[in-house]
Amino acid sequence: MARLGFHAADALGDPFGRDYGEGVVWQQLRRIVAGTGYAPLRAFPAIVFNYPPVYHLVTAATSALFGLDQLFAGRLVSLVSTIVSAMLAGVVTATAIGDGQDRRVRALAGMFTAACFAALPLLLTSALLMQIDMLALAFTLTGLVLVVRAVDRPMLAIGAGILFTLALYTRQTSLPAPAAAFLVLLVARPHAAWLLLGSAVLASFIGLGLIQATQSDHFLTNILFYNLNRIAWDHAAKTLFVLLANIVPIALGGIGFAVAWRQLDPRQWRRWRARMATERGLAATAIVLLLVILKTLMLPMILKSAANDNYLIDWFAGITILIGIAVVPVIRAATAQASAPSGVLLLLLALGLPIQMLDPPVRPDARSTQNRAAMQALVDRVRASAKPVVSDDMVLLRRAGQNVIWEPAMIAELGSAGVYDQVRLAAHVRRGDFGFFVTYGDRGDLIYDQRFTPLIADAIDTAYPRRERVGPLTLHLPR
């Protein structure tokens, strides 16, 4: 928790971009607030809206209400959403453990889940970015809390349906949780399941109508048709590295999965409805297990070229809940209750988890004064450019008062799919219609080659042959 606080203070004090997607979201926010979001793709501005608008609207409202810089407001929304999500994951854990355990055991297991949530490197990183993921997760986990209570109070399923819809209108891949909730409720309390589905469908149509009425009329085209991605097999190695870097939490989650699976006993699913009348945590256990299974089946989506490890966020949230279930024997032993924790569990908790949590460091490596001065000088160069600048770091453009007229990653995807005219775009580059280019890496680097097709890269080499380095960025300058 201390590490989260130190890293949050550093991020909220940093005026420059920390992730490729921040500048994209910021530009989308400005267009959505102006009522020109989700327009059909044209030559320029070459930017698509691959996310629904809820995060953008919440960030814009936060910025306006408290008079905050929009980048700062976006990171603040993510941070608050992360803290709320950690607490809600703890609540789900305590509920899943059930009334059969002592109240202290359930409370400590919930606290352990929340702490693990805040400590996982992926969730720590996402907490500090102007990105959609943590707000979507907060809506999802709030919906799960209501769904579990809907087993006894079916009307709460209406609120859960609305929250799941908000999650889907924040990030359209937030489907596994409502799907798991509906399927479990369908067995446990069919009336609540249909209330959940009905409220979600109705809220979805209302949301779609509001978007169509207030924005350009190509919302579904942007969200579905333009959201194309090639398969990047290199992402498999990256994903494997992320999983290996979190092997201890994953192993603990596996233990929790086995414990929950035995408690659930899927072979007795016909008795679930009767059991849930007396075992209040059974529905929560079933939903968490099904959520983790569905998210595991969706993990190959990370192979999309524009995907990142943020696709693992919901999965890791489920893992942290399973970790809380796994540690119950240790908590029982620590509180002088009859228990015999396994040696593997004790070893993972006493040795593996502390070693796992050593990285990243408690205090972040803040940008040096020299680096910030260099970035500010680059902002001044962008501001002074008489022509639009194309940049991988699109926060630079916003800081310089320029709009994003070319979003490299998605335009490369759409160009490769034949949706966007790359030949015409290359002609603009060769003609020198841009001030200069700012990229991460250069030709031959994976990230550069994914964002600029060979046709565009050739044009950049021809018209912008000079190179200059500014920190991690490469400037491509005209002759």
pLDDT in tens, 332-389: 988 877 778 888 999 999 888 888 878 888 888 766 556 888 999 999 999 999 999 9
Q: How many CA atoms lie within 13 A of 155 on its CB side?
A: 0
**Rounded distance, CA 37 to CA 293, Å?**
35
Q: What percent of the chain has pLDDT over 90?
A: 66
Q: For the chain, what is the largest distance between any 2 Cα atoms, rounded to a whole number of angstroms?
A: 77
For the stretch 258-263, contacts whose Cβ atoms lie closer than 8 Å and that sit 24 or more positions apart, written own/partner, are 259/325, 259/326, 259/328, 260/96, 260/285, 260/288, 260/289, 260/322, 260/325, 261/289
**The predicted structure's pLDDT at residue 369:** 56
Q: Indicate if the pLDDT at residue 179 is higher than 90.
A: yes
What is the domain partition of the chain in residue ranges?
52-356, 369-477
Q: Indicate if the pLDDT at residue 227 is higher than 80.
A: no
Q: What percent of the chain has pLDDT over 70?
A: 97
Q: Indicate if the pLDDT at residue 228 is higher than 90.
A: no
pLDDT in tens, 180-225: 999 999 988 999 999 999 999 999 999 999 999 999 888 988 888 8
**Rounded distance, CA 220 to CA 216, Å?**
11
Is the CB of residue 291 less than 8 Å from the CB of residue 180?
A: yes
**Rounded distance, CA 204 to CA 190, Å?**
21
**Rounded distance, CA 341 to CA 443, Å?**
54
pLDDT in tens, 264-310: 888 887 788 888 877 778 999 999 999 999 999 988 887 776 667 88
Q: Indicate if the pLDDT at residue 401 is higher than 90.
A: yes
**The predicted structure's pLDDT at residue 416:** 83
Of the candidate ranges 52-61, 144-153, 180-189, 328-337, the one whose mean pLDDT is the lowest: 328-337
Arithmetic mean of pLDDT over the chain: 91
Q: Phi and psi dihedrals of 153, rounded to 5?
A: -130, 85
**The predicted structure's pLDDT at residue 387:** 95
- Give the mean pLDDT of 131-159: 95
**The predicted structure's pLDDT at residue 26:** 97
Q: Quick one: how far is CA 350 from the chain centroid?
A: 30
Q: Indicate if the pLDDT at residue 132 is higher than 70.
A: yes
Q: Indicate if the pLDDT at residue 248 is higher than 80.
A: yes
Three-state secondary-structure class, residue 386? coil
**Rounded distance, CA 470 to CA 371, Å?**
9
Q: What is the DSSP string of 271-291?
A: GHHHHHTT-TTHHHHHHHHHH
**The predicted structure's pLDDT at residue 244:** 86
β-pair partners for 466:
477
